């Protein structure tokens, strides 16, 4: 038995943030039904590279789902959606603010059909505020949130993160908010509306950077691979490439000095505390680099593990996916589709002691299950 196997999700969303969230719900057993326009409405299907004609971008966010097509601009198909809503638990969409209302499919209208429905709307800027009706794409959100201001080299320009981090973080909040609303519905027997904005999510994820400004007025800057508050805590170059080393406490620094065979540094007035090390960061970093360049990364990793100092290779994507730790965790899965063959994917990172997550359905082609639902009574 899967924990969400009696939950039906109608997923009208596109691209990544909301679809990745519904995929997590599907992994936990929910029946997730993708609803798209008959001509296709998810631009992610068109983004390469492709495997057997399928977008690898689309594949990463849509396993364990079914796909049907409806043209919500027609009265007939809007009525079909309402019939689906009668027996659904969740509706998830990421249209621009106001679009669903203009089609007569707002939360207020759909709750008349099903008072228990949980309606989650994901937008760039939310349902309120001066930008509520503007589109919000991940790179724009990274820019507006200040994330880019603190990302990149100190000498270079503001830089976006290498993955759509605002979308990824929002997908997690999609799951958290829907599970919370389902739990609340168990107690109240009524659904509710969830308003999720990418900008809100990304701003809430500024963590220590936001806290520093709000409480002291300190504005964090781009420091490349250095840390705003801790030293030494960055990438160091070794004989054969870069290595991330994180010395997070004064106690770790003492062990680090012993590891480097520079015990005297631990008693140097410039480096006694993290605050002092941060003030003299350029000096300590250069001193460390002069030593790290004398060995390979693997040689240093052996020593770091011996002294319990956090560190790791700066891997390429290929190296990351092939590293023994990742393989040992059994994190790569395969799933078959009768039309486009075997698809590899990264499994859910959640590992329960008594709940095997099931991967039953490959990401569907457009409208793959439309006939199934037309022939059924649409009952759960």
**292 and 162 in a common domain:** no
pLDDT average, residue stretch 279-301: 97
The 10 Å CB-count burial string (b at 16+, else e) for 331-352 is eeeebebeebeebebeebeeee
Strand 90-93 with 8-11, pairing: parallel
User: Dihedral (C-alpha) 203, 218, 212, 195: value to the nearest 10 degrees?
Assistant: -20
- Relative orientation angle of helices 165-188 and 17-27, to the nearest 10 degrees: 50
Same domain, 22 and 165: yes
pLDDT at residue 310 tops 80? yes
Tell me whether residue 380 is in a domain.
no
Is 268 considered catalytic here?
no
Q: Which residues lie across from 36 on neighbouring strands?
A: 69
In a domain, 369, yes or no: yes
Q: Are residues 307 and 334 in the same domain?
A: no
Could you tell me if residue 211 is inside a domain? Answer: no
Question: Which CATH number goes with the domain that contains 310?
Answer: 3.30.1540.10
Instruction: Please identify, among 274, 291, 315, the residue that sits at the C-terminal boundary of a domain.
Output: 315
**Cα–Cα distance, 317 to 320 (Å, whole number):** 5
Output the six-digit token pair for 273.
């505390």
CATH for 84: 3.40.50.10540
One domain for residues 69 and 189: yes
Work out the mean pLDDT of the chain and round it to a whole number: 95
Using CA atoms, how far apart are residues 60 and 86, in angstroms rounded to an integer?
A: 30
Indicate whether 18 and 91 sit together in one domain.
yes
Is residue 258 assigned to a domain? yes
* Residues 122-143: tens digit of each pLDDT: 999 999 999 999 999 999 999 9
* Residue 262 maps to a domain: yes
Let me know if residue 157 belongs to a domain. Answer: yes
Whole-number pLDDT of residue 376: 57
- Quick one: what percent of the chain has pLDDT higher than 90? 94
42, 89, 167, 200: the active-site residue = 167
Residue 250 domain-assigned (yes or no): yes
Domain match, 150 and 175 both: yes
| Measured CA distances, 302 to 58, 238, 249, 296, 297 (Å) | 39, 13, 20, 10, 9
Q: Residue 88: how many CB atoms within 10 A of its CB?
A: 24
As a whole number, mean pLDDT of residues 25-33 equals 98
- Domain span at 35: 8-205+329-375
Q: How confident is the model at residue 375 (pLDDT cuts 50, 70, 90)?
A: low
Same structural domain for residues 142 and 275?
no
Residue 379 is predicted with a pLDDT of: 47
Tens of pLDDT, residue by residue over 67-108, are: 999 999 999 999 999 999 999 999 999 999 999 999 999 999
- Quick one: 135 and 265 in the same domain? no
C-alpha separations of 182 from 175, 195, 379 in Å: 11, 15, 19
Q: Is residue 339 part of a domain?
A: yes
For CA atoms 236, 203, 94, 4, the dihedral sign is positive
Q: What is the pTM of this model?
A: 0.93
Of 270, 287, 315, the last residue of a domain is 315
- 21 with 103, same domain: the answer is yes
Give the number of domains in the chain.
2
């Amino acid at each position: 038995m899967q924990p969400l196997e009696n939950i039906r999700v109608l997923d009208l969303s596109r691209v990544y943030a909301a679809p990745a969230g519904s995929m997590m719900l599907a992994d936990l057993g929910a029946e997730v039904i993708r609803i798209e326009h008959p001509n296709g409405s998810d631009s992610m299907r068109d983004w390469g590279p492709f495997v057997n004609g399928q977008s690898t971008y689309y594949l990463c966010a849509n396993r364990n789902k079914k796909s049907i097509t409806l043209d919500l601009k027609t009265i007939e198909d809007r009525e079909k959606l309402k019939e689906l809503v009668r027996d659904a638990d969740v509706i998830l969409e990421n249209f621009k603010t106001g679009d669903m209302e203009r089609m007569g499919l707002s939360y207020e209208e759909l709750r008349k059909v099903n008072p228990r429905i949980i309606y989650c709307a994901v937008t760039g800027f939310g349902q309120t505020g001066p930008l509520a009706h503007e589109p919000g794409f991940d790179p724009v959100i990274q820019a507006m949130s200040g994330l880019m201001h603190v990302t990149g080299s100190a000498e270079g320009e503001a830089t976006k993160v290498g993955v759509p981090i605002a979308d990824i973080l929002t997908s997690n909040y999609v799951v958290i908010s829907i599970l919370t609303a389902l739990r609340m519905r168990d107690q109240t027997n009524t659904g509710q509306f969830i308003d999720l904005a990418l900008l809100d999510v990304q701003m809430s994820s500024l963590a220590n950077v936001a806290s520093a400004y709000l409480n002291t007025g300190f504005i964090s800057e781009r420091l490349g691979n250095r840390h705003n508050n801790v030293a030494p805590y960055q990438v160091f170059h070794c004989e054969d490439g870069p290595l991330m080393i994180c010395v997070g406490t004064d106690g770790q620094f003492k062990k680090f000095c012993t590891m480097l065979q520079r015990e005297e540094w631990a008693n140097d007035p410039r480096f006694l505390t993290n605050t002092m090390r941060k003030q003299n960061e350029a000096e300590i970093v250069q001193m460390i680099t002069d030593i790290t360049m004398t060995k390979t990364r693997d040689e240093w990793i052996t020593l770091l593990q011996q002294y319990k100092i956090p560190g790791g290779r700066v891997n390429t994507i290929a190296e990351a996916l092939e590293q023994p730790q990742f393989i040992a965790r059994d994190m790569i899965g395969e799933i078959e589709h009768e039309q486009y063959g075997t698809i590899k994917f990264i499994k859910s990172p959640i590992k329960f002691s008594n709940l095997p997550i099931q991967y039953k359905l490959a990401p569907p082609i457009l409208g793959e299950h439309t006939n199934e639902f037309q022939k059924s009574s649409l009952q759960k």
